[in-house]
């Protein structure tokens, strides 16, 4: 095992101990976030750093080390409450924080384990990998639902590789979860193979490059901690992550890049209590003048919001479910406007089995914003079919970055205007194919859900995937079908 794997294993081994006390993976990871943050800030106040940080003396890391039992428990509870009142990143990390480790002896063991390591001496890369490893383990816990905040890192890296962000430009994720797109972009910009940053560019990268929204407090604190471990932002600085619902209004700020995977789920809704004491759901419809269509479809609203966030020459890569490509009504209106006002140049059809929510059929849309024009900006849409005859499972055959190499080569980030189709009449199963604007507009409802590769499993019974892959795909299809039926019932009931 590498040093990283050893520390991840050591830190995560306590999760199983605490599960016997009813502490789930997500709760444990939250406690680790609080304690790791305090330990690191303690190290930064000592030589060779000698930084002055806004952590009150009575509620810092050292304030816990001499305490045991009930005294430790009561002090830790008070510490969390007091730090949650602070401003900036400190307050954001500790907002609504609670002690979920009820056994003081086990709390002390976790504190002692963290205290045994000198975290500040570890490289930024190592610290970040350890925390990312913990986030991924947490996402694997299907029951907790944490997977919805975790996009596969191999996919994120491929999206960043294609977008090819440049130094000195701003990056936004309006649904940032645990910060995967920020960290992959940070690693790309820091990589000397891509750029050799000067002092000014390094300062911009650290303090002014990233901005985002995350309404779920637990995901937001993990994102901030993840960024802090990667040396992004300042402990006592303002938080780059807003807790506001990003869809409510136009924030006014514009960005060169938007990379995001908006939350799964088709409808935006809120729960309220009636006068009779019953809980009912009501669809949230965002009435915004900058939107092309008014709808309660969360995915379509995010797509419109992303268009608003982009500068006139901005670039976007966004993960969206299949319904965005074929749904009528508001969906058709949004697609037609996208094709006209942006250059929607690439669609990557994703394999099922790569997300932690089973049955998700998703795509990555790549588009460039453009200034107003009488003529539509999209001339042709290139589609890469990474779904048909492609099989992944989270445990036995997870998606790896290397699996994306062919798509990245076809995308041609260095000059996407020089691309070559792999599909032809002689090679009908080529995965890379372009469609003209006129061809797409001629399709019913401007349907962008286009596929052509022959499904081998339907034609060749001797070439079926392994039984476990087949079983997983059956489960995914059944769950996807159930979700569709639920959406139909909700529509019929006016929910």
356 falls in which pLDDT band (50, 70, 90)?
Answer: low
Kindly report the average pLDDT of the chain as a whole number: 86
Pick from 361, 158, 350: nearest CA to 264: 361
> Is 436 a residue whose pLDDT tops 50?
yes
Note the pLDDT tens digit of each residue in 94-150. 988 999 998 999 999 999 988 988 888 776 666 777 777 777 777 666 554 445 556
244 in a domain, yes or no? yes
Question: Does one domain contain both 64 and 140?
Answer: no
Of the candidates 132, 150, 185, which is a domain's last residue? Answer: 132
Q: Are 292 and 267 in contact (CB under 8 A)?
A: no
- How large a percentage of the chain has pLDDT more than 70? 83
Q: Examine the pLDDT at 477 and tell me if it is beyond 70.
A: no
What average pLDDT score do residues 355-370 get?
A: 87
**Digit-coded pLDDT (tens) for 231-245:** 888 877 788 999 999
Whether residues 110 and 184 fall in one domain: no
Question: Does residue 495 lie within any of the structural domains?
Answer: no
Please tell me whether residues 335 and 450 are part of one structural domain: yes
pLDDT of residue 422: 97
Number of structural domains (the chain) is 2
- Note whether residue 100 is domain-resident: yes
Q: Are residues 110 and 213 in the same domain?
A: no
Check pLDDT > 90 for residue 75: yes
Do 302 and 263 touch, CB atoms closer than 8 A? Answer: no
- 119 & 143 share domain: no
Better-scored residue on pLDDT, 44 or 210? 210
Mark whether 111 and 147 lie in a shared domain: no
* 39 in Cβ contact with 119 (< 8 Å): yes
> Which residues have C-beta within 8 Å of that of residue 270, sequence separation ≥ 6?
281, 282, 284
Q: 151 and 126: one domain?
A: no
Classify 380 in phi/psi space as left (phi over 0), alpha (psi -120 to 50) or beta. beta
* Domain CATH code at residue 122: 1.20.1260.30
Judgement on whether residues 99 and 142 belong to the same structural domain of the protein: no
Tell me: do 65 and 140 sit in the same domain: no
For the ranges 18-22, 433-437, 465-469, the maximum mean pLDDT occurs at: 433-437
> Based on the domain organization, do 244 and 359 belong to the same domain?
yes
| 494 lies in some domain | no
- pTM for the model: 0.85
The 3 state secondary structure assigned to the chain is CCHHHHHHHHHHHHHHHHHCCCCCHHHHHHHHHHHHHHHHHHHHCCCCCCCCCCCCHHHCCHHHHCCCHHHHHHHHHHHHHHHCCCCHHHHHHHCCCCCCCCCHHHHHHHHHHHHCCCHHHCCHHHHHHHHHHHHHHHHHCHHHCHHHHCCCHHHHHHHHHHHCCCCCCCEEECCCCCCHHHHHHHHHHHCCCCCCCCHHHHHHHHHCCEEEECCCHHHHHHHHHHHHHCCCCCCCCCCCEECCCCCCCCCCCCEEEEEECCCCCCECEEEEECCCCCEEEEECCCCCCCCCCCCCEHHHHHHHHHHHHEEEEEEEEEEEECHHHHCCCHHHHHHHHHHHHEEEEEEEEECCCCCCCCCCCEEEEEEEECCCCCCCCCCEEEEEEECCCCCCECCCECCCHHHHHHHHHHHCCCCCCCCCCCCCCCCCCCCEEEEEHHHHHCCHHHCCCCCCCCCHHHHCHHHCCCHHHHHHHHHHHHHHHHHHHHHHHHHHCCC
**What pLDDT band is residue 1 in, cutting at 50, 70 and 90?**
low
Amino acid 141: pLDDT = 61
335/102: higher pLDDT: 335
How would residue 269 be classed by pLDDT, with cut points 50, 70 and 90?
Answer: very low
| Higher per-residue pLDDT: 226 or 207 | 207
Share of the chain above pLDDT 90, in %: 57
**What does the pLDDT read at residue 366?**
98
Residues in the chain: 495
| Tokens 């460039």, located at residue | 368
More confident: 464 or 181:
181
Can you tell me the mean pLDDT for 63-73? 95
Residues 113 and 140 occupy one common structural domain: no
Q: Which of 22-36, 216-230, 412-426 has the highest mean pLDDT?
A: 412-426
Do residues 295 and 409 make contact, with C-beta atoms less than 8 angstroms apart?
Answer: no
Domain edge (last residue) among 132, 149, 174: 132
Lowest pLDDT segment from 351-355, 367-371, 381-385, 467-471: 467-471
Rounded mean pLDDT, 271-282? 43
Q: Is 387 contained in some domain?
A: yes
Supply the pLDDT for residue 148.
Answer: 56
List Cβ neighbours of 332 (8 Å cut-off, separation of 6 or more): 445, 446
What is the structure's pLDDT at 94?
Answer: 92
| Choice among 67-76, 106-115, 196-205, 252-261 with the minimum mean pLDDT | 106-115
- The domain of 305 spans 135-489
Assess whether pLDDT exceeds 60 at residue 204.
Answer: yes
State the Cα–Cα distance between residues 145 and 24, nearest whole angstrom: 11
End position of a domain, from candidates 85, 116, 132 = 132
Average pLDDT, integer, range 15-41: 84
Q: Can you give the pLDDT at residue 271?
A: 38
Q: Are residue 290 and residue 405 in the same domain, yes or no?
A: yes
- Local confidence band at 275 (pLDDT 50, 70, 90 cut-offs): very low
């Amino acid at each position: 095992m590498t040093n990283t794997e050893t520390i991840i294993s050591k830190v995560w081994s306590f999760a199983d101990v605490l599960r016997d006390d009813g502490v789930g993976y997500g709760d444990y990871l939250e406690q680790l976030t609080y304690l790791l943050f305090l330990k690191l800030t303690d190290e930064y106040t000592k030589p060779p750093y000698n930084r002055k940080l806004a952590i009150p003396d009575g509620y810092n890391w050292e304030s816990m080390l001499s305490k045991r039992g009930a005294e430790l428990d009561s002090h830790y509870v008070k510490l969390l409450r007091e730090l949650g009142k602070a401003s900036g990143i400190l307050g954001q990390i500790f907002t609504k924080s609670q002690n979920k480790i009820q056994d003081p002896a086990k709390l002390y063991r976790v504190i002692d384990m963290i205290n045994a390591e000198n975290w500040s001496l570890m490289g930024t890369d190592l610290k970040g990998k350890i925390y990312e490893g913990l986030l991924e383990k947490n996402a694997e816990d299907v029951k907790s639902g944490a997977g919805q905040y975790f996009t596969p890192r191999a996919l994120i890296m491929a999206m960043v590789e294609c977008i090819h962000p440049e130094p000195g430009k701003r990056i936004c994720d309006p649904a940032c979860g645990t910060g995967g797109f920020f960290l992959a972009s940070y690693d790309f910009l820091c990589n000397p193979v891509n750029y050799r940053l000067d002092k000014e560019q390094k300062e911009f990268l650290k303090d002014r490059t990233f901005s985002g929204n995350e309404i779920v407090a637990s995901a937001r604190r993990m994102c901030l901690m993840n960024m802090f471990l990667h040396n992004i932002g300042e402990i006592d600085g303002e938080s780059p992550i807003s807790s506001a619902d990003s869809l409510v209004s136009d924030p006014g700020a514009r960005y060169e890049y938007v990379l995001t995977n908006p939350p799964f789920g088709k409808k935006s809704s809120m729960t309220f209590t009636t006068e009779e004491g019953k809980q009912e759901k009501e669809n949230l419809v965002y009435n915004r003048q900058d939107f092309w269509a008014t709808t309660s479809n969360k995915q379509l609203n995010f797509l419109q919001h992303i268009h608003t966030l982009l500068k006139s020459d901005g670039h976007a890569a966004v993960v969206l479910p299949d319904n965005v490509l074929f749904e009528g009504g508001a969906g058709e209106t949004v697609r037609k406007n996208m094709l006209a006002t942006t250059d929607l140049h690439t669609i990557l059809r994703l394999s099922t089995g790569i997300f932690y929510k089973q049955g998700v059929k998703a795509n990555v849309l790549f588009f460039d914003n453009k200034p107003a024009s009488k003529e539509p900006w999209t001339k042709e849409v290139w589609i890469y079919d990474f779904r048909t005859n492609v099989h992944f499972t989270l445990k036995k055959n997870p998606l790896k970055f290397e699996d994306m190499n062919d798509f990245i080569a076809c995308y041609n980030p260095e000059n996407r205007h020089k691309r070559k189709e792999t599909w032809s009449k002689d090679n009908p199963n080529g995965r890379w194919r372009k469609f003209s604007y006129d061809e797409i507009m001629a399709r019913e409802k401007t349907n962008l859900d286009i596929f052509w590769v022959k499904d081998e499993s339907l034609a060749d019974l001797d070439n079926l995937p392994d039984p476990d892959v087949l079983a997983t795909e059956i489960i995914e299809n059944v769950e996807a079908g159930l979700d569709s039926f639920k959406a139909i019932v909700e529509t019929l009931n006016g929910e």
